[in-house]
Structure 1
Amino acid sequence: MSTNMKNIEFEKPAYSDWQDAAIKALKGKPFESLFTATSEGVTLQPLYTQESLLEKLGDELDRQVATIRSLQNSPVFQVAQQVHADTSEAFFAQLEDSLARGNEVVTIDSRVQFEWTDEVLAKLAPYFSEYSFKITVNNAQDPLLAVFDQIAVDQQQTVKGFIVSQDPISLEAFPNVRSVNADTTTYHYQGANAVQELAYALALAAKFAEQEENFEVFSKKFFVTFAIDTQFFAEIAKLRAFKVLWKAFSSAYGVAETIKIPTVAETSLRSFAKLDIYVNLLRSSNEALSALIGGADVFTVHPHDVLTKPTEQSIRIARNVSLILKEETNVLKVTDPAGGSYFIESLTADFVKEAWALFLTIEAAGGIDAYTASGKLAEEIEISYQSRIQAVQTRKQSLIGTNIYANPADVLEHDTNPLFGYIKRIAAPFEKLRAEVTAADMKTAILALGTLKSSKPRADFVAGFLNTVGLVPEKSEPITTVEEAVAWLKATEAKYVVIAGSDEDTKALVAAILAEKPAHLIVDVAGKFKDEEQAWLANGLNGFIFAGQNIIEKLQSVFTSMKEVQR
């Protein structure tokens, strides 16, 4: 029997078989409803197969995989723990501690609360000689750059590191310091999508390459920086796509050999929130893993409370995220761990195609500076940002702890870390409205119609909807008659009430309830009722709450109406 079992082969289902089964399961919904359009203009398929990938890429697949692997600085993924301190004494204490506990790259943002005096810089200089570094500076006049004056001439050749700056920094005496940076985080934090970031990276590279005497000199100084967002597979594809794009870019300059360009990355803060901050830890862990798989060379994990003020504990946790992923996932034991994935290879190719096309458009417009001056760059980033913000506010994209599963008991921190105040975070509109609503101490309620079983689904939905801005509605016991409903409405202290019940109970009772409700009370109904809508609105109903609605627009409107009633 065992011999026969070993010889059994299962029939391999074709894509058409799976499609037929999917259509049946959809129960009348179109098969196209399984396709997802991304902000990058790429359509995600519901299923990827070897056949579909080969049909799409053909011989290009082998070239894509070979290019990515030849340009991977593997195994690297150096841990770059940023130092957060208010005084120079605390700065050096934290730096020493981080290096002793696994940090590999001295990581500093020059915008600190203490001064970069000669004494401080002299103390810092030996770290630059002993360790690799990543420093972020404002410009060529940044006081932190004077640290290089403190490094002995005989050590300058061995100093290695990265200088993140909007404009290239000239350090001719330090050949192993990369100081020409395509910093895409600036665009990322204004709302750019993956394709835009890739195209802008190439456009910046083209600009800076023209400023050097030859491409070889430029390539030895150049590196790229990315912020890695929560879209796990897309971020893996973004990092892989850059390597393919770089190969094409360098080939255009007549470079045939492989030139490896370091990828310096960090966890994205545009999806971070000031509420339910431990969810930020989950986000950053997800982002760090995608960067590790995607092939980032140097990576910074921001502490989960970095939007306000990091603590000793949060800094340690952030560092340990990188260390655990690096040492215990075994990802670094595999060259290009995502290579061969039908989905990721396809997505990588899509990003390459779209980003190269946008790059050529930018070059045709006169380069990145001309494109920026024309307003086109800001316009397309704004479109991308609005797409993302709309997705969050309508719950097409979940932001746990903010637009769904929000905890109204959380206290919103009003302080903002000045290093990150400019970031267009998608949670910010929720936090802003929550602060206003909390300060106004508005009282809300849910009137449950029908039985507990029939009213609970919509009542829970409404409660979750209101929780996103910190409102905790009073809930009535299940009410089955108009008389009970009107009596409860007259007794409640709430200024805003949402009626939640089944379609049947709502249609049967709402019209009569509206006819007798207190005049000062703002009343909404949970659900969509197209046939009854106009009559109910004419009879005193404020509006509706339903799935897919823009939460911020709806609750801002309600909040404005409540303030008018209070006057």
Structure 2
Amino acid sequence: MSKMKDIQFESVSYEQWKEQAINALKGKPFESLFTKTTEGVTLQPLYTQETLIDKLGEHLEKQITTVRKVKASEGFSCAQQIFGNTEEEFFANLTDSLERGNSVLTIDSRFSFKWSENSLNRLADIISNNEFKLIVQDSSDNLLRLFDRIEEKKREYVKGYIISEEPINLNSYPNVRTFCANTIPFHYEGANAVQELALTLAIARKYIGENNFESFANKFFVNFAIDTQFFSEIAKLRAIKVLWKAFSSAYGISETIPLPIVVETSLRSYSNLDLYVNLLRGGNEAFSALIGGADLITVHPHDVLTNPTDQSIRIARNVVLVLKEESLVQNVIDPSGGSYFIETLTAEYVEKAWELFLEIEEDGGIDSFIQNGKLAKYLEEVNTIRQNALATRKQSLIGTNIYANPVDELSNDTNPLFEKVKRFAIPFEELRATYQSIQPKVAILTYGELKNFKARADFVSGLLSTAGIISEQSGELKSIEAAKEWLTNSKYDYVVIATTDEDTKAIVPELLANKPQKLLLDVAGRFKDEEEKWLANGLNGFIYAGQNIIEKLNSVALSLRGVQA
């Protein structure tokens, strides 16, 4: 043990590491290790103390200090959403949530029932003694009537947050924050982290108006959705604190004003396929929110897109409670502070978000930016890039576009609160619904020995599974005659040939000459030299890595409908 303590390792420079990396790449360019994000940030393969100092210099200490001082609370709170189809069910769930660790009551006013006077009085009494987060549509929302029912002498002790499309006037409630930079609607339209940060400042700029900054700041908070991009979301929450400090300074405020950060797990990555993966996504998102420094965290149940159950609601709540009580992360100030990667990413988000914020202001502010269509254009560009990455499987959505379970059935239930969310999984869910209506018989023609065709056959099977297609396999067909006989006698609607490139070139012409007329035949792989001739002789097409599988499988579905007709 004593000898181990004396061991020292030689320091390695970035240039030495780069040289070894280039050797390991075996001819591939070093630049292939860099990744461009939808925020326009290029992620490097290695971050070092030197690269961080080069990036931030003396600003590094200021950034870290700001991140730590701007946090509004020492820890974070569980803000479980309360569900209920009737008043009785709602209050039963509310009571249960408080008894089981929920500390901030999250209530969305869009219930399927109308509030009675008695229930409004009852709820007013509850929020007088419990912190809350209300989601309302505007100042005329019926749920806001509960504030008229709270005794005046109690109002200064009422603490909570109100999320609305416009600021709510509650002057007699000094501890209820009603100016919210709610970026979630933009998030669901496709906004990336930098855009959400810039829009937060633009909304704050709009709401300040002629108000005194400090009185405004005491009523202001931000509301973010946290996606599955773990490090990006950590950097986003840290960056808003740095941006808030700079924004405050522009109004002549020298002291640090804490900024409450309210978050919820993002539903744009949730899927109706392989539901329990949503539970993992929620946990991942909540953990990044915790490390990033959120003050309130809401975890949506894994089945919230359809009809959350008592069990799924409890699991979602316990995700936050496990992080709070067992991870001990909340006992650490700024857990990711000092990370070369996170600090660099935070700084890059700050720079790009401030630049976009200034662009919005130069355009006349957020209202003008929305009305002239610039914001919609920006969001659509990002959303298109992201959807294309999912369709080509450059980005994974586990259980949906990769590792899909073909026997999963789509639920017919829809939660009206979230039915308009532009989720990544929707094109795949629509694809699966299409194939459920067609019910094609599909097989993979596997030629040669198992070791030669297995990789391609598995790829094809996995790709077809994303559409809910259960494909059979022919087994080892070791001669062209055997393959021709199997294809001729098959009762399938759609067959994909999976074998080596050499064997594919050898058997495809023979199989095309003998395939049943109504059979759709595809080939696994890309064969550019043979493509034109094979298509002219009756081949339907090709399946290969990097292909847009939404377009491909929709095209196959269209052909299958034509054959069946």
Which TM-score applies when normalising by structure 1? 0.98
Residue in structure 1 matched with residue 456 of structure 2 by the alignment: 458
Instruction: Give me the whole-angstrom Cα distance separating, in 1, the residues matched to 2:238 and 2:297.
Output: 15
Instruction: Give me the whole-angstrom Cα distance separating, in 2, the residues matched to 1:493 and 1:131.
Output: 65
* Stretches of structure 2 lacking an aligned partner (at least 5 in a row): none
Residue in structure 1 matched with residue 138 of structure 2 by the alignment: 139
Q: Contact 1:219–1:259 (CA<8 Å) still a contact in 2?
A: yes
For 2:399, the aligned partner's letter is G
Q: Contact 1:125–1:150 (CA<8 Å) still a contact in 2?
A: yes
Cα distance, 1:423 vs structure 2 = 0.6
For 1:295, the aligned partner's letter is G
Q: Contact 2:487–2:511 (CA<8 Å) still a contact in 1?
A: no
Range 280-289 or range 446-455, more displaced: 446-455
Residues 9-46 of structure 1 deviation map (CA, whole Å, 9 limit, x = unaligned):
21011111211121111111111111000000000000
Q: Contact 1:83–1:91 (CA<8 Å) still a contact in 2?
A: yes
Q: Contact 2:450–2:476 (CA<8 Å) still a contact in 1?
A: yes
Instruction: Give me the whole-angstrom Cα distance separating, in 1, the residues matched to 2:387 and 2:491.
Output: 34
Residues 353-388 of structure 1 deviation map (CA, whole Å, 9 limit, x = unaligned):
000000000000000000000000011001111111
Q: Does 1:178 align with 2:148?
A: no
Q: Does 1:421 align with 2:419?
A: yes
Range 418-427 or range 510-519, more displaced: 510-519
Q: Contact 2:441–2:492 (CA<8 Å) still a contact in 1?
A: yes
Range 195-204 or range 14-23, more displaced: 14-23
Instruction: Give me the whole-angstrom Cα distance separating, in 1, the residues matched to 2:515 and 2:235.
Output: 56
Instruction: Give me the whole-angstrom Cα distance separating, in 1, the residues matched to 2:355 and 2:33.
Output: 27
Residue in structure 2 matched with residue 265 of structure 1 by the alignment: 263
Range 78-87 or range 513-522, more displaced: 513-522
Residue in structure 2 matched with residue 234 of structure 1 by the alignment: 232
Instruction: Give me the whole-angstrom Cα distance separating, in 1, the residues matched to 2:122 and 2:362.
Output: 48
Residue in structure 1 matched with residue 106 of structure 2 by the alignment: 107
Residue in structure 1 matched with residue 297 of structure 2 by the alignment: 299
For 2:127, the aligned partner's letter is F
Cα distance, 1:74 vs structure 2 = 4.0
Q: Contact 2:190–2:380 (CA<8 Å) still a contact in 1?
A: yes
Residue in structure 2 matched with residue 340 of structure 1 by the alignment: 338
For 2:283, the aligned partner's letter is S
For 1:188, the aligned partner's letter is H
Identify which of 365, 375, 378 aligns with 2:373. 375
Identify which of 219, 222, 226 aligns with 1:221. 219
Cα distance, 1:504 vs structure 2 = 1.6
Identify which of 475, 481, 484 aligns with 1:483. 481
Residue in structure 1 matched with residue 7 of structure 2 by the alignment: 8
Instruction: Give me the whole-angstrom Cα distance separating, in 1, the residues matched to 2:287 and 2:199.
Output: 24
Cα distance, 1:6 vs structure 2 = 3.6
Q: Contact 1:74–1:332 (CA<8 Å) still a contact in 2?
A: no
Residue in structure 2 matched with residue 27 of structure 1 by the alignment: 26
Residue in structure 1 matched with residue 190 of structure 2 by the alignment: 191
What secondary structure sits across from 2:435 in the alignment? Answer: helix
Q: Contact 1:163–1:181 (CA<8 Å) still a contact in 2?
A: yes
Q: Contact 2:235–2:346 (CA<8 Å) still a contact in 1?
A: yes
Identify which of 540, 543, 554 aligns with 1:542. 540
Q: Check 1:332–1:517 CA distance in 2 against 1; reply closer, same or farther (3 A cut).
A: same
Q: Check 1:140–1:5 CA distance in 2 against 1; reply closer, same or farther (3 A cut).
A: closer
Residues 241-296 of structure 1 deviation map (CA, whole Å, 9 limit, x = unaligned):
00000001111111111111100000000000001100000000000000000000
Q: Check 1:44–1:201 CA distance in 2 against 1; reply closer, same or farther (3 A cut).
A: same
Cα distance, 1:99 vs structure 2 = 0.3
> What does residue range 476-555 of structure 1 map to in structure 2 within 5 Å?
476-555=474-553
Cα distance, 1:5 vs structure 2 = 4.8
Instruction: Give me the whole-angstrom Cα distance separating, in 2, the residues matched to 1:119 and 1:271.
Output: 39
Q: Does 1:280 align with 2:274?
A: no
Q: Contact 2:488–2:514 (CA<8 Å) still a contact in 1?
A: no
Q: Check 1:413–1:3 CA distance in 2 against 1; reply closer, same or farther (3 A cut).
A: closer
Range 353-362 or range 12-21, more displaced: 12-21
Residue in structure 2 matched with residue 449 of structure 1 by the alignment: 447
Instruction: Give me the whole-angstrom Cα distance separating, in 2, the residues matched to 1:301 and 1:535.
Output: 54
Instruction: Give me the whole-angstrom Cα distance separating, in 1, the residues matched to 2:311 and 2:499.
Output: 46
Identity %: 60
Identify which of 302, 320, 324 aligns with 2:322. 324
Cα distance, 1:4 vs structure 2 = 5.4
Residue in structure 1 matched with residue 287 of structure 2 by the alignment: 289
For 1:197, the aligned partner's letter is E
* Stretches of structure 1 lacking an aligned partner (at least 5 in a row): none
Instruction: Give me the whole-angstrom Cα distance separating, in 2, the residues matched to 1:47 and 1:116.
Output: 56
Instruction: Give me the whole-angstrom Cα distance separating, in 2, the residues matched to 1:339 and 1:324.
Output: 22
Residue in structure 1 matched with residue 402 of structure 2 by the alignment: 404
Aligned pair count reads: 565
Q: Contact 1:331–1:337 (CA<8 Å) still a contact in 2?
A: yes
Q: Contact 1:481–1:509 (CA<8 Å) still a contact in 2?
A: no
Cα distance, 1:481 vs structure 2 = 2.2
Instruction: Give me the whole-angstrom Cα distance separating, in 1, the residues matched to 2:250 and 2:310.
Output: 48
